[in-house]
Amino acid sequence: MSSEKRTPAKDRVADEIDRNLKKAFEGMAEEPLPDRFTDLLADLRAAEENRKKVSSNDS
- Is the residue at 26 inside a domain? yes
What is the structure's pLDDT at 4? 61
- Domain holding 47, by residue range, is 8-58
Q: Give per-residue pLDDT as tens, 28-58.
A: 888 898 999 999 999 999 999 999 988 888 7
Number of structural domains, the chain? Answer: 1
- Is the residue at 3 inside a domain? no
Model confidence pTM above 0.85: no
CB-based contacts of 6, cutoff 8 Å, min separation 6: 14
What is the structure's pLDDT at 41? 95
